[in-house]
Amino acid sequence: MTYMLDTDMVSLVVRRNPSVIQNLIKHEEDEICISAITYAEIYYGLVKKGSDRLFSEVTEILGKISIIDFDNTQSELYGKIRAEQEKTGMILGSMDMFIAAAAMSQDAILVSHNTRHFSRVKGLKIEDWSIKS
């Protein structure tokens, strides 16, 4: 199984959240990935923060995680997700729709603390590793 970490989960890994770390070590490195969109959000946060220590720490963590490039399949899934969201009137932010599309394109489980938020995307598999099991 493939697990795609949302931005909030990467942040919790950096903060060494015990529940997230416990769940993370249950899986092989090749089962864990992030989307290029998540990488962009993380990189933006690092630049904005301006901490060399944090940049180094996050870069080390991300060096062990596959980053899935955004492609045409994800673009098409994004279009479908956005059209569905607009019909319901409950639209996620664009970045979150892109992340959902990335997870779905990989048949991955999206690991996020925002399960209620992402549960509005039909067919998206979601887990929250920040909650003790």
Question: Across the chain, what does the average pLDDT equal?
Answer: 93
The pTM for the full model equals 0.94
DSSP one-letter string for 31-95: GEEEEHHHHHHHHHHHHHHT-HHHHHHHHHHHTTSEEEPP-HHHHHHHHHHHHHHHHHT-PPPHH
132 — pLDDT class (breaks 50, 70, 90): confident
According to CATH, what is the number of the domain 3-127?
3.40.50.1010
Q: Is 15 exposed, middle or buried (0-12, 13-18, 19+ CB in 10 A)?
A: exposed
Tell me the pLDDT tens digit for each residue of 73-113. Answer: 999 999 999 999 999 888 889 999 999 999 999 999 999 99
